Structure 1
Amino acid sequence: MRRTVRGAVAATACTVVLATGLAACGTVKQLTAAEKVSDAFGRITDGKTLKAELSFGATADEILAFDKLASSKGKPMDRKTAELMAELKISVAVSADKPLKDIQSFKDAQSGADPFNALGQDPGFDVAYALAGKSGKSYADLRWVDGNFYVKADVDGIAQLAGENAGELKDAARAFPKVVQDAVAGKWISIEGKTLKEFADQATKAAGAKTGGASAAPSVDPKVASGLVNTVKDVLSRNVTFEDKGKQDGADHIYVAAPAKALADDLLKSVRPVLKDVPGLDKLPSAAPTDIPDKKIGLDVFVKDGSVSAISFDLAQVDADLPADAHLPVKVTFSKDAAEAPKAPEGATKFAMSDFEQIVSSMLGSSTGIKPKIGSKPAAAPLTEAQIKELAAKGIPEAQIKMLNQSGMGYEQIKKLLGSTS
């Protein structure tokens, strides 16, 4: 079971993205079923809102039955875990004041190029992510509204999901600023876009100081992104088949399938030349992983009122050793008009640069026996240029030395810290 679920997210995401990429490009027109899927994905961003929910399309009993077939040699899953898997769902809601397909930054986000248009700026659309139970219990919420970030988490609930206790984390939070204590207590925390940009700028400067040069944030050239889409489109048109299965619950049911190993090999062979100049992607393997099943796998696409309403993918397909009667469906549902526009929560505790500095000071102070005051910035004598150069020679960027000094650590304290970490 563990090996099957380990590749579940990747397999599901890849399959959905591949089908979406082909359909949205609208290039496969030789089949009526393909036309339906193409048009349906093309219309999914016609509206000003979009909501997608990912969950297991199985009950706890069905998950346990699947685990019994998949884990004949491993430790069986307990009912509590199965109930959690059946209960959890991940949702994403997007909202704008005009059709999403007309927003350039949204199209960039879909292609992977500069998803938020630039930190500290309003991308033109709002986003809300949520991890929740189907019964309504909320575990985590993240929102990007008007260019600002908001987050809230149920620390106790998440700890229970992981089989842990949040007591130690709550005790440790007492040594940190109020914003950390509020976060652990499950309250909303906000970070302004300009503060995020300041974080990013400092990280870039620190990385540049380490490498001896500037370190720009990674991005994808729009031309490369476009070339990749076209390449993937061509590969899919050679491998993917569409079969109209008729009506199911008022929706058109279309089965989209492809030979898994052949598709993966073809994709790798085709995209390597396109990505050869992209850092980190220039050394892709020449062949698909050996554990990809050498058989046809597929997903079920449901189209209602001309737009995609759901996608279902059976995770059992990714494990060639499972018996034919093993099934564990993952379902993604889509809605264009039922998504509530993400809103900025009231009363959120603001996370500022001073909080970040105090957190760093607190963490580093605990390793050196220094206990800085929390709630007010402790005073420290400004470092001289000679002291900064001396400390930087020990391997820490000058930007970080100055930040530690500004957060309350003096020359001797920073020197002691560097001596304890070298």
Structure 2
Amino acid sequence: MALKVSGPDSDLLEYRQVDDWAYLRAGVKPLEEAVGSQLPAPEDLPPDATDLKQVLGGGWVKMPADSLTKNTPGQESSPSAIPSAQARQKKVLNGLQRLINREVQLKDTGTEGGAEHITATAPFRTLLTGLFDELRPLAADFPQGANLPTSKGLKDVPDKKITADFAIKNGTLNEISVDLAPLADTAKGDKSTLVLRIGKGDQATTPPGPPRSTWTH
């Protein structure tokens, strides 16, 4: 698999997984501009922070693909103590289905540009809180240190209704667009649309040149 997050001018973050290895690199300058603060320079880090130096230098870091989800010492649990991953996933899917049936209003809005359009409308904070609540059974599968927000942590999120538009072309989901303007204090009629286009991706390949560092976590 391959995942890339890009800004208007360059890549912010790129992740690849090929066979048993994962590769990660960051666009430091674009990330600094995106978050509005300066990251440490590699030369300012301790000598033993080789992996972090590699990332902040814009290079690739190589790590075993399972190192992001493997439990650290002291976290082991007996197989009988926790449900299987398959059972947890089934529970989450059932919970998400109930959440959508309860909170989301679906509407067929017709055909445009050769694609069928269906909209889904829901109160943002209610849906987000419910989503994280339903995902909690999968927390055991998350990387170490990854915590899901609680309802208390989401209390300041606007609970205004937002609408996602799903474009389906030739029986396949082609595009998802969400107008985020209702979540901001903008003038009536303003739009701020987030668009996700879905298409055939490139084959994930090992980055050119061997990474100079291997993640040791």
- 2:19 maps to 1:154: no
Alpha-carbon contact 2:125-2:157 (below 8 Å) kept: no
- Partners of 1:184 and 1:148 lie apart in 2 by 20
**Corresponding residue for residue 202 of structure 2:** 340
* Change in 2 beyond 3 A, CA 1:302/1:352: closer
Indicate the residue corresponding to 2:16 in structure 1: 143
CA shift digits 1:24-79 (9 cap, x unpaired)? xxxxxxxxxxxxxxxxxxxxxxxxxxxxxxxxxxxxxxxxxxxxxxxxxxxxxxxx
CA distance in 1, matches of 2:194, 2:164: 10
Alpha-carbon distance in 1 for matches of 2:123, 2:212: 50
1:349 matches 2:214: no
Aligned to 1:90: none
Instruction: Trace 1:62-77 onto structure 2 (pairs within 5 A).
Output: none
1:66-107, Cα deviation, whole Å (9 max, x unpaired): xxxxxxxxxxxxxxxxxxxxxxxxxxxxxxxxxxxxxxxxxx
Distance in 1 between the 2:157 and 2:27 partners? Answer: 37
Match of 1:324 among 182, 188, 199: 188
Contact 1:179 1:350 in 2 (8 A): no
Contact conserved, 2:12 with 2:31, CA < 8 A, in 1? Answer: yes
CA pair 189-224 structure 1, distance change in 2 beyond 3 A: closer
Cα–Cα, structure 1 residues 157 and 324, in superposed 2: closer, same or farther, change >3 Å? closer
Q: Hey, what does 1:303 align to over in structure 2?
A: 168
What does residue 50 of structure 1 align with? none
The superposition leaves residues 150-204 of structure 1 with CA deviations (integer Å, 9 ceiling, x where unpaired) of 12223234334444456x513225834766554443222222347x38x956xx2
After superposition, give the CA deviation of every residue in 1:384-421 in whole Å (9 maximum; x if it has no partner): xxxxxxxxxxxxxxxxxxxxxxxxxxxxxxxxxxxxxx
Distance 2:54 2:127 in 1: 48
Looking at CA atoms only, which structure, 1 or 2, has the larger radius of gyration? 1
Confirm or deny that 1:132 pairs with 2:6: yes
Instruction: State the partner residue of 1:230.
Output: 94
**Secondary structure of residue in 2 paired with 1:317:** helix
TM-score (norm 2): 0.69
Q: Provide TM-score, normalisation by structure 1.
A: 0.39
Conserved 8 A contact 2:54-2:213: no
Paired residues for 1:113-128 under 5 Å: 127-128=1-2
**Following the alignment from structure 1 to structure 2, what is the Cα–Cα distance between the partners of residues 189 and 264?**
33
1:341: how far off? 1.1
- SS of the residue corresponding to residue 117 of structure 2 reads strand
> What amino acid maps onto 1:317 in structure 2?
P
Residue 171 (structure 1) aligned to one of 3, 28, 43: 43
Identity %: 20
1:232 aligned counterpart, secondary structure: helix
- Higher strand content, 1 or 2: 2
- Which position in structure 1 is the counterpart of 2:143? none
Question: Match of 1:302, SS?
Answer: strand
Tell me, yes or no, if the aligned pair for 1:189 and 1:348 is still in contact at 8 Å. Answer: no
* Preserved contact between residue 187 and residue 348 of structure 1 (Cα < 8 Å): no
State the match for 1:191 in structure 2: 63
User: Which residue identity does 1:143 align to in structure 2?
Assistant: R
In structure 1, what is the Cα distance between the partners aligned to 2:57 and 2:208? 16
Query: Match of 1:4?
Result: none
Q: How many pairs does the alignment contain? A: 204
The letter of the residue matching 1:190 is K
Secondary structure of the structure 1 residue equivalent to 2:208: coil
Return the match for 2:111 from 218, 239, 247: 247
Cα offset, 1:344, TM superposition: 0.7
In the alignment, the residues of structure 2 paired with residue 152 and residue 262 of structure 1 have an alpha-carbon distance, to the nearest angstrom, of 35
Structure 1 residues 256-286: Cα deviation after superposition (integer angstroms, max 9, x where no partner): 2235577679x59xx68x979x88x9xx659
Helix, strand or coil: the match of 2:182?
Answer: helix
Deviation of residue 330 (structure 1)?
1.0
Conserved 8 A contact 1:315-1:327: yes
Where do 1:5-404 residues align within 5 Å? 127-135=1-9, 137-165=10-38, 169-173=41-45, 175-176=47-48, 181-193=53-65, 196=67, 200=70, 204-205=72-73, 208=74, 214-216=75-77, 221-258=85-122, 267=130, 289=155, 292-293=158-159, 296-319=161-184, 322-335=186-199, 337=200, 339-352=201-214, 356=216
Change (3 A) 1:185 1:352: closer
Q: Secondary structure at the match of 2:198?
A: strand
RMSD: 4.2
Question: Structure 1 residues 158 and 232 mapped into 2: Cα distance closer, same or farther (>3 Å)?
Answer: closer
* Runs of at least 5 residues in structure 1 that lack an aligned partner in the other structure: 1-126, 209-213, 358-422
